Chains A and B, each alone.
Chain A
């Protein structure tokens, strides 16, 4: 069974410049690998700036600004996606976590692919339906902050995806697939698109 939410679009990667990193969730405890999320995200941000070179002296300042913008946005988004995958993947499965960046002339696409425990799927679907149908992300963002402030011991902030939409003008989409039945193996493909 496959379901789609938001602006999900499957990318053909054979003709585009792309970068992919894979992680085996069972190979090391979460706490020990947490720092790798930031290192991987920063690497992806640095790597992509190569494709936005400064061609002339006149354009140099604009190009540097653009490089800072792309590096910062890619680092932030990739780190949030990896943190989510590490937190919410199905620990009972050994399905790898993959992050892929695909570079187009005017936009960048992220795909984050991870497993999810079957019992968490309906709650996750309700959350991404709320995100996809939201017409005023700023309002939803402020409400979420106020909600979080009420929950003194809340363990998750539910802010990662919302900051991408609200602060980085990202378009998000999801593909949720059940690829095995016994035991159930659910794979979530989260797509994030930002303009550059």
Chain B
């Protein structure tokens, strides 16, 4: 499972059950985010015990993207049997500013900011 464009690259590593994000995600709304939502739903259908989001190479995410990410967190929270880890970087400003909010949605979400 993979989405590759000029601006961003998203891929799912089945061995580590990690979704890796790189580049810049500033799409214009939910329509444009639909393929990414679809990839996430496919991962969720496999019901892995753990899903890791590796965002350390994601330089920018707009508020529509933050909304999509929040929806993923809420979906995993509803599943109850899936744990979630988000790997971020303090060196990328939006991550230091905005990722902590996701823990308010799902208190047992593990947030690794390096």
**What residues make up the interface of A, taking CB atoms closer than 8 Å to B?**
30-31, 34, 37-38, 68-69, 71-73, 75-76, 79-80, 83, 87, 138, 141-142, 145-146, 148-149, 153-157, 159-160, 162-163, 166-168
The docked-state distance in angstroms from the alpha carbon of A87 to that of B62 is 14
22 residue pairs bridging A and B, Cβ less than 8 Å apart: A30-B28, A31-B28, A68-B91, A68-B93, A138-B104, A142-B105, A145-B67, A145-B70, A145-B101, A146-B74, A148-B67, A149-B71, A149-B75, A153-B30, A155-B30, A155-B31, A156-B29, A159-B63, A162-B63, A163-B97, A163-B98, A167-B94
How many A-B contacts at CB < 8 Å in the complex? Answer: 80
The 3 closest A-B pairs by CB, nearest first: A72-B93, A157-B67, A159-B63
Known: A79-B62, A80-B63. A72 touches B92 (CB 8 A): yes
- Contact digits for B51-74, partner A, Cβ 8 Å, 1 yes 0 no: 000000000101110110011001
With A30-B28, A138-B104, A157-B63 known, 12 other A-B pairs at CB within 8 A are A38-B24, A38-B26, A72-B92, A76-B60, A76-B94, A80-B62, A142-B104, A160-B62, A162-B63, A166-B101, A167-B97, A167-B98
A146 close to B105 (CB less than 8 A) = yes
